[in-house]
Amino acid sequence: MHNRIHVIGTCHGDTIGFKIDDLYKELVKIKPDIILDESPIDNKWPMLDWLKGCANQSQSRGGGEAAAVLRYIEDHQATEVLPYDINGRNDYFINMKFFEKEQAYHQACETYFRLSSANPTATYLYKLIDSMGRRFGFHETRDKRSIYEINSPLCDVQVEMFISLMRQVNKAIFHLVPEFSQYQKDYWIRQNFHAKRDKAMISNILHYNSRFKDKTMVVLCGYFHRYAIIKGLSGSQKKHDFCLITDPSLSEKMPKPENS
């Protein structure tokens, strides 16, 4: 029998609606043999130490998904936890000053669009994308959606649409606001790296699928990656002999692989 692959999107920590305890309950329902963690595939830390470090760093938000995984494997010690994110991710973030540059551009936008002299078309576009993000709940701890809502087809469509529109809006803003030219190159480097990550994740998941047989696997991902992972895996089920489950509510209704 083929593997079953569950894709579960997370908020990387507690929000108003998404709770790490709910993620743990989903793991208990699914009973995975293998959990794929969104850590770089070349991670040199022992996985248990990595998870403990992540949980400690995210204490203010319930320990993140690492806390749910640690709690689950405490009672299911045969479960294997493996990394699947792009090779070299952490070093790339550090060497490129990835988040510092992202924050610098964000701060520049916040400052510029408060000015009465700001380009009106650019201002409209910036406010449009910002209000859309707030309406969809893309603001971490303020997100009111539950684990079921962020793992729904509606959320997947919203994320895909938001990312596409965000790219178009920023392209227009760079054209309309010459003062932002210094941020343009790094912005597109960051966007392209996110796309590369999605492709690498899909490739690594398929590699793990080929390594195992008759297993239940859970892929844990930030929900902004979920739609791309699902899209990348959906057309490969027959060729790579696995069953893809993307709706947490189906977990208890699906038959388990024979060897699980």
Q: What is the mean pLDDT of residues 206-224?
A: 95
* pLDDT tens track for 99-157: 999 999 999 999 999 999 999 999 999 999 988 877 766 556 778 889 999 999 999 99
Q: Is the pLDDT of residue 256 over 60?
A: no
d(CA 238, CA 235): 8
pLDDT at position 13: 87
DSSP secondary structure code for residue 2 in this structure: -
DSSP secondary structure code for residue 97 in this structure: T
Average pLDDT, the chain: 91
Q: Is the pLDDT of residue 58 over 80?
A: yes
Who contacts 27 (Cβ-Cβ below 8 Å, separation ≥6)? 35, 68, 69, 72, 218
Q: What is the mean pLDDT of residues 169-198?
A: 96
Annotate 143-177 with b (16+ C-beta within 10 A) or e (fewer). bebbbeebbbeebbebbeebbeeeeebbeebbebb
Output the six-digit token pair for 104: 């610098």
pLDDT at position 227: 95
Q: Is the pLDDT of residue 168 over 80?
A: yes
Question: Residue 90 CB: number of other CB atoms within 10 A?
Answer: 15
pLDDT at position 59: 86
The closest alpha carbon to 139, from 121, 162, 161, belongs to: 162
* pLDDT tens track for 65-103: 999 999 999 999 999 999 999 999 999 999 999 999 999
Q: Are 229 and 168 in contact (CB under 8 A)?
A: no
Confidence of residue 258 (pLDDT cuts 50, 70, 90): low
Output the six-digit token pair for 7: 């894709």
> Where are the domains positioned within the chain?
1-260
Confidence of residue 1 (pLDDT cuts 50, 70, 90): low
Written as one letter, the residue type at 109 is: C
For residues 1 and 105, the model is more confident at: 105
Residue at token pair 């749910």: 68
* pLDDT tens track for 15-26: 888 999 999 999
Mean pLDDT is lowest, of 24-38, 140-154, 232-246, for 140-154
Mean pLDDT is lowest, of 121-135, 158-172, 204-218, for 121-135
